[in-house]
């Protein structure tokens, strides 16, 4: 006799009121015994093989046709691999995956796109909008795993997209649709199928801003690769980020722009967020931030203006960590004697990017001071560094890589924290240990 949690699959020899696996109440049900059960069949199926008998998986990677996606994944898609594709609703997951599915179908033949959320007609409309008309792209509107599995076995596609995991019913009556148990079982079974049939398998997963709910975290261990599509729905910028990759490095990013015809890749994002012919204006500072292993140049824009006296001073920011910026503003007030406590401060990151790295701190300082003093930071100068509560400027990771990148992009001068400077850069590197020194170096005192 055994019992299993309906929600998460946790098994126990005795019935429990509360599941130790997921904390659900009264979720245990008796497991059917006997050799006929599906679980046991699956369990017995494995075959012991001597190493020389084992066939290596196909080594050729498939190319998605989107070179940035291929680069992010470590050089293409490995047949039999399972890729978790997360992101908030409406961010563009279905769009990007339909584009990838279309490209794969054009190059390699049959691709199956399963939608549990949209009717085939809706997917077709999107395909038309994206200019996809591949005869080898097959659509299926289905939620039941069993029937999805049947379609896969019949069609034998080279690639499969399941949009989304949260709509798949793995076990009728086995917990809520979209619940942890269903999602996890669906992912596990689809992964088995992908391996058995050497098929590339994309599993779409919705996540909320917090990243909680029956989401990707509960299935990440089941997949080979996990990528997340991020960006603000208001802006047109999208970043695809790899969180896990069994076949390549993680924390890589690929940048896209959402347009009339889907997502268009931005192959050289390092200059994308800073207009090339940037007229130097007060309130603007350029910072090389690290997104994954790649430095990206971003423009921090600040506007400091007198409060009109109707209500408390405004603090508005886009793309930056609100609380962190408040601390930096307090540091500026205290260390530099700049009176911004009663003024309105607006901050934004050019291009709509979200920057969460501490290296941006000194850039925020510089942009605010530049606007406050109405003095321009020379356009050939970049600045980065973490700012501590005492006004100290602290080292950040991969400073040499950042310096090399900005040099390549034609900058002449960098105001940075103390630390090693790479050999052979022709850049003028000014190391500053405090915000006071930083302001001095930039001519903003």
Report the alpha-carbon distance of residue 196 to residue 156 in Å, rounded.
11
CA angle 274, 277, 283 (to 5 degrees): 55
DSSP, residue by residue, 131-196? T---TTEEEEE--BHHHHHHHHHHH--SEEEEE-GGG-BSSTTSS-TTSHHHHHHHHHHHHHHHHH
Tokens, residue 201:
């398998």
Question: CB–CB of 357/365 below 8 Å?
Answer: no
Cα dihedral value 89, 91, 97, 103, nearest 10: 160
Q: Is 130 in the site for ligand TYD (CB under 6 A)?
A: yes
Beta carbon nearer to ligand TYD, 220 or 236: 236
Q: Which is nearer to ligand TYD, 258 or 300 (CB)?
A: 258
Is residue 438 near ligand TYD by the rule CB under 6 A?
A: no
Choose between 129 and 397: whose C-beta lies nearer to Mg ion.
129
Rg of the chain in Å (alpha carbons): 26
Distance CA 379, CA 444 (A): 14
Size of the site for ligand TYD (CB under 6 A): 15
Q: Which does 90 bind (CB under 5 to 8 A by kind): ligand TYD, Mg ion, none?
A: ligand TYD
Considering the complex, state which of residue 261 and residue 316 has its C-beta at the smaller distance from ligand TYD: 261
Minimum distance from residue 39 beta carbon to ligand TYD (Å): 33
Q: Is 95 in the site for ligand TYD (CB under 6 A)?
A: yes
104 binds, among ligand TYD, Mg ion, none (CB under 5 to 8 A by kind): none
Q: How far is the CB of 87 from ligand TYD (least distance, A)?
A: 5
CB of 354 to Mg ion, least distance (A): 21
The values of phi and psi at residue 283, to 5°, are 95, 10
Instruction: Give which of ligand TYD, Mg ion, none residue 182 binds (C-beta under 5 to 8 Å, depending on kind).
Output: none
Could you say whether residue 171 binds ligand TYD (CB under 6 A)?
no
Element of type H or E holding 29:
strand 28-30
User: Rule CB under 6 A: which of 52-91 touch ligand TYD?
Assistant: 87, 89-91
Using CB under 6 A, which of the segments 7-15, 65-73, 255-263, 436-444 binds ligand TYD? 255-263
CA 354, 360, 365, 371 dihedral sign is: negative
Measured from the CB atom, the residue of 89 and 378 that comes closer to ligand TYD is 89
Which residues contribute to the site for ligand TYD (CB under 6 A)?
Answer: 87, 89-95, 126, 129-130, 258, 260-262
């Amino acid at each position: 006799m055994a019992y299993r949690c309906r929600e998460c699959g946790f098994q126990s020899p005795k019935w429990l009121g509360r599941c130790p696996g997921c904390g659900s109440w009264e979720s245990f049900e008796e497991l059917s015994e006997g050799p006929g059960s599906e679980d046991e069949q699956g369990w017995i199926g494995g075959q012991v093989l001597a190493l020389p008998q084992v066939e290596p998986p196909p080594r050729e990677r498939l190319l998605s046709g989107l070179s940035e996606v291929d680069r992010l994944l470590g050089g293409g898609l490995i047949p039999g691999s399972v890729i978790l594709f997360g992101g908030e609703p409406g961010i563009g997951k279905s769009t990007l995956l339909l584009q990838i599915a279309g490209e794969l179908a054009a190059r390699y033949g049959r691709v199956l796109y399963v939608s549990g959320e949209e009717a085939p007609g809706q997917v077709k409309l999107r395909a038309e909008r994206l200019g996809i008309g591949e005869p080898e792209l097959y659509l299926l509107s289905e939620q039941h795993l069993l029937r999805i599995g049947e379609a896969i076995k019949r069609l034998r596609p080279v690639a499969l997209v399941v949009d989304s995991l949260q709509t798949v019913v793995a076990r009728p009556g086995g917990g809520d649709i979209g619940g942890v148990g269903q999602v996890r079982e669906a992912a596990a079974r689809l992964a088995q199928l992908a391996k058995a049939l050497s098929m590339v398998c994309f599993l779409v997963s919705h996540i909320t801003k917090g990243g909680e709910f029956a989401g990707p975290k509960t299935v990440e261990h089941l997949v080979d690769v996990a990528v997340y599509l991020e960006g603000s729905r208001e802006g047109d910028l999208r970043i695809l980020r790899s969180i896990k990759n069994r076949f390549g490095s993680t924390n890589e990013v690929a940048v896209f722009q959402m347009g009339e015809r889907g997502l268009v890749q931005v192959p050289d994002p390092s200059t994308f967020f800073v207009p090339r012919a940037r007229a130097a204006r007060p309130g603007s500072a350029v910072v090389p931030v690290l997104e994954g292993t790649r430095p990206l140049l971003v423009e921090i824009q600040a506007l400091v203006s007198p409060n009109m006296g109707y209500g408390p001073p405004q603090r508005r920011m886009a793309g930056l960590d609100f609380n962190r910026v408040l601390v930096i503003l307090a540091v500026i007030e205290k260390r530099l004697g700049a009176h911004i406590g009663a003024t309105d401060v607006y901050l934004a990151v050019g291009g709509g990017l979200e920057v969460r790295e501490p290296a941006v701190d000194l850039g925020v300082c510089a942009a605010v001071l530049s606007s406050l003093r109405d003095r321009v930071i020379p356009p050939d100068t970049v600045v980065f560094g973490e700012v501590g509560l005492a006004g100290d400027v602290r080292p950040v990771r991969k400073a040499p890589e950042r310096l090399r990148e900005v040099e390549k992009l034609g900058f002449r001068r960098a105001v940075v924290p103390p630390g090693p400077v790479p050999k052979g850069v022709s850049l003028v590197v000014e190391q500053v240990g405090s915000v006071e020194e930083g302001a001095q170096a930039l001519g903003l005192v």
